């Protein structure tokens, strides 16, 4: 019995996990659940006949075995659970005629789902079925997000657009959508009512965001038995969108993001006094005024210039980015940057953090007469970010001491290393510290050198980085330090 090759597994596109129940429902496989829950999520399949499969597991697998070296079921199950495997599938024959009773009891004690694979079902058939189910789940998610985007856009064109968008959002997510004012009071709401405990928790979560420039753009949590999420709207009005649902689906955040952009545009003042003042300053610049003469009309300096590339291709992408960074000074023209290129001007006090779907280049702080130089710095930083496939690169006028503040470095580390479970992080850290030596890493970790190669290949796939690139290795070394 064999499983798909590692190269095939690594080339499989990212997809939502599939519940074990969906695999059990495939009658052609003939799988039978002997113990444990059937609603656990499966991320991939791995086959192993090792006496101790722990070093070869990444977590979330359906581990398949025929029990060739099964001598101590209790210890074996303990190691499988410790490695984070989602479920265990045991193939009947050629080693055993039935699933060993000791294995069934050990899985029941540990709460590990145990599935019996009949003799007529090869392991490859189970693996192929899981990949197909994942592909179907991914297609369903994309279709659901696309339909939700169309529904929200249609709602935004109705006579009362804000309640209509909230209603469409609540309907698509199957929950409650609430628009909170700057003081935390409920402004508009749609969808089914939620328990008072959940409503209070949602209001408190929305209050975490608040109208602070450069503050967090979103927050999530639980309350009253529901999943909660809050999103700060752009436009400077201090409004917050709160969402309460029974469960959280993979595409929910994307759907809510579309609603946030639409609501930000619908609730923002179109021609406020500050906009008129800024327009006047731009006119004076065009008529020959020096930058220092009009800087006061733009706001308190010094300034930071940001070049950005990316977005989702919608007309609202640049507005959403500007709202997330806390600025209204944005140039969404393509210019020399091509489609999806945006330039922004921010007060130096505004925090510039990694933005999902965007690549950012950030200049050093500049006074009005230095904005042209700052624009060039941001352009160079963006080119370096694109070359190194980093989500954010800053212009560095000084040495290492000028890199980033500790909080920002920690946030970026969490983003960069997020896809790696701890066993892979430790392997990558050791491998980098030993200058990429397979043999020395294997000795240091007391594992086989082929296992080292497999784990490093998995790290490269999950991070989507070229680990042979010295810049990538340096970046990961600092992140793992």
pLDDT value for 409: 63
Q: Please identify which residue in the block is written with the tokens 């945006």.
A: 342
**Which neighbouring-strand residues pair with 91?**
117
Residue 432 confidence (pLDDT) above 80? yes
pTM: 0.46
Reported as a pLDDT band with limits 50, 70 and 90, residue 291 is low
Q: Where are the alpha helices (DSSP H) in 353-419?
A: 371-388, 406-417
Q: CATH assignment of 6-134, given 3.40.1390.20, 3.40.50.80, 3.40.50.720, 1.10.1040.10?
A: 3.40.1390.20
Residue 265 confidence (pLDDT) above 90? no
Rounded to whole angstroms, how far apart are CA atoms 188 and 162?
Answer: 8
Rounded to whole angstroms, how far apart are CA atoms 163 and 245?
Answer: 18
475 neighbors 389 (Cβ within 8 angstroms): no
Reported as a pLDDT band with limits 50, 70 and 90, residue 407 is low
Distance of CA 121 to CAs 66, 90, 100, 125, 432, Å? Answer: 12, 11, 18, 7, 42
pLDDT value for 481: 62
Q: Do domains 6-134 and 157-267 have the same CATH topology?
A: no
Per-residue pLDDT reduced to its tens digit, 223-258: 888 999 988 887 656 788 999 998 888 788 888 888
Rounded to whole angstroms, how far apart are CA atoms 58 and 200?
Answer: 39
Q: Is 477 helix (H, G, I), strand (E, B) or coil?
A: helix
Superfamily, domain 157-267: Dynein light chain 2a, cytoplasmic (3.30.450.30)
Burial 298-316 (b: 16+ CB within 10 A, else e): bbebbbbbbbbbbbbeeeb
Q: What's the topology of domain 412-480?
A: Arc Repressor Mutant, subunit A (1.10.10)
Residue extents of the structural domains in the chain: 6-134, 157-267, 300-403, 412-480
Q: Please identify which residue in the block is written with the tokens 């850290």.
A: 429
């Amino acid at each position: 019995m064999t499983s798909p090759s590692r190269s095939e597994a690594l080339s499989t596109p990212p997809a939502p996990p599939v519940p074990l129940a969906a695999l059990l429902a495939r009658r052609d496989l003939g799988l039978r659940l002997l113990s444990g829950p059937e609603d656990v999520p499966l991320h991939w399949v791995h086959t192993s006949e090792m006496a101790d499969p722990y070093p070869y597991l990444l977590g979330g697998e359906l581990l398949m075995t025929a029990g060739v070296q099964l001598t101590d079921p209790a210890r074996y199950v303990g190691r499988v659970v410790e490695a984070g495997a989602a479920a265990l599938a045991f193939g009947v024959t050629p080693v055993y005629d039935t699933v060993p009773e000791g294995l069934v009891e050990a899985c029941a004690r540990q709460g590990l789902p145990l599935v019996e694979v009949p003799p007529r079902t090869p392991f490859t058939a189970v693996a192929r079925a899981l990949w197909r189910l994942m592909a179907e789940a991914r297609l369903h998610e994309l279709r659901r997000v696309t339909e939700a985007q169309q529904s929200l856009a249609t709602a935004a064109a109705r006579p009362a657009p804000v309640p209509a968008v909230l209603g469409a959002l609540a309907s698509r997510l199957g929950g409650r959508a609430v628009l909170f004012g700057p003081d935390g009071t409920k402004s508009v709401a749609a969808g089914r009512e939620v328990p008072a405990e959940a409503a209070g928790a949602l209001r408190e979560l929305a209050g975490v965001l608040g109208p602070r420039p450069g503050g967090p753009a979103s927050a999530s949590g639980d309350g009253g038995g529901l999943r909660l999420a809050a999103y700060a709207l752009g436009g400077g009005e201090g409004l917050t969108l709160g969402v309460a649902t029974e469960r959280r689906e993979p595409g929910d955040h994307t759907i809510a993001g579309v609603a946030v952009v639409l609501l930000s545009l619908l609730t923002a003042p179109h021609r406020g006094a500050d906009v008129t003042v800024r327009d006047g300053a731009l006119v004076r610049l065009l008529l020959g005024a020096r930058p220092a003469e009009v800087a006061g009309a733009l706001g308190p300096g010094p300034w930071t210039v940001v070049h950005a590339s990316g977005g989702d291709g919608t007309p609202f992408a640049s507005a959403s980015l500007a709202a997330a960074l806390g600025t209204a000074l944005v140039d969404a023209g393509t210019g020399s940057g091509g489609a999806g290129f945006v330039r922004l001007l921010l007060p130096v006090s505004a925090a510039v953090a990694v933005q999902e779907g965007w690549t950012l280049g950030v200049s050093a702080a500049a006074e009005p007469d230095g904005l042209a130089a700052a624009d060039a710095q941001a352009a160079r930083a963006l080119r370096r970010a694109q070359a190194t496939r980093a989500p954010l690169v800053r212009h560095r006028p000084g040495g290492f001491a000028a890199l980033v503040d500790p909080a920002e470095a920690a946030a970026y580390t969490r983003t960069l290393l997020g896809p790696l479970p701890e066993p892979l992080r430790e392997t990558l850290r050791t491998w980098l510290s030993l200058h990429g030596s397979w043999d020395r890493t294997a000795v240091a970790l007391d594992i086989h050198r082929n296992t080292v190669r497999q784990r490093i290949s998995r790290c490269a796939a999950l991070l989507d980085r070229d680990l042979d690139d010295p810049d990538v290795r340096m970046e990961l070394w600092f992140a793992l330090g």
